[in-house]
Amino acid sequence: MFTKIKLIAKCLIFIALSLIFIACVGKGNQFGGNPQAAQTSSPEGRAYTADSASNTISVIDIALQKRIDVIKTGAQPHHLAIRPKSNELWVTLYGADYVQIFDITDHSYIGKVDVGASSDDISFSEDGQIAYVSLGASNGVAIVDCSSRKLLKTILVGKAPHGIKVNPEGKEVYVTSTEENRVIVLSSISKKVAKHIRVGTNPYEVLFTSDDTAVVTNLLDNTLSIIRQGKTEALVRVGQQPSMMALSQDGKLLLVANAGSSDVSFIDTGSWKEIKRIPTGLRSHGIATIDNKALVTNMGDGSVSIIDLPSSRVIGRVQVGEQPNGIAVKQ
């Protein structure tokens, strides 16, 4: 009888120690995904979505039209981008004062950069050495050295900056000021504000075409501002609450995700006219293109719509986390 009690006691101790070990391992691996999922075949590439209400990144195999992994992040991942000439996925966090970095080869957590405030959008220099991060809540832009993962400088810009992009020449950085209805232009050389450009109401995101034309989505007046040589030349009418944008691979089409009307506008970049609009999921928000496809995050129903660009049709939908925001793709 006594031997049996000792055996039970040893088993209980073993179970308790095992649980403690598992808890410690779990704590040490708070962020990251499943390394095995990263090794699956993806001939058409992968997409990564920032699931803002789930505190995760969903990894989608585009060929399979399936979520293959979930990567744990900090609070409220907002936008994400793949650093040029690397396998690093950088993620801004709306609910934390740092930016996180993950390895897209095995979905492991690399580290973080303290940027001093909650972050919105991110853009890199062409060589991938410098990251520019918009800090909407503190009216600034953080400049980060990507190799050392150190904050170099914070520049105060307009109120509530959001979208940010480095221009093709690499000499200027455009930042939207959502509360001041303008774009702030930073010099990438002097790291100072160079000029302001008036745009539409509540400018949200900015994108550059190959000929250095800047396009800005104006969230609250349902237009795009077309900027050339530092001046707004035209407004293009699109759907309701235009949010994020992406160019087709040949640059002839601009795709605009309209959150208010839950659709995507197709814009001819030669004439700057809307040529069609197709419905997607609820509250279309983020968008990215790869080969002949566009992928759109739908914040209202936790999904990603896959659009075949030649036929302008939605050919698939993938369920991801809650309120997917930004999206990035990798071949």
pLDDT at site 41: 66
What single letter denotes the amino acid at residue 131? A
pLDDT digits (tens, 9 = 90+) for 138-180: 999 999 999 999 999 999 998 999 999 999 999 999 999 999 9
To the nearest whole number, what is the mean pLDDT of the chain? 92
Closest-CA residue to 286 (of 43, 58, 45, 86): 58
Place of tokens 């002839």: 252
pLDDT digits (tens, 9 = 90+) for 237-291: 999 999 999 999 999 999 999 999 999 999 999 999 999 999 999 999 999 999 9
pLDDT digits (tens, 9 = 90+) for 54-72: 999 999 999 999 999 999 9
pLDDT at site 159: 96
Burial of 282 (0-12, 13-18, 19+ CB in 10 A): middle
pLDDT digits (tens, 9 = 90+) for 83-130: 999 999 999 999 999 999 999 999 999 999 999 999 999 999 999 999
- Pair 119, 93: CB distance under 8 Å: yes
Please state the separation of Cα 44 from the chain's center in Å.
19
Q: Looking at residues 74-81, what average pLDDT do you find?
A: 98
**Taking 80 as the threshold, does the pLDDT of residue 32 lie above it?**
yes
Domains and CATH numbers, the chain: 242-330 (2.40.128.630)
CA distances in angstroms from 113 to 81, 93, 146, listed in the order given: 15, 11, 9
pLDDT digits (tens, 9 = 90+) for 4-21: 444 444 444 444 444 433
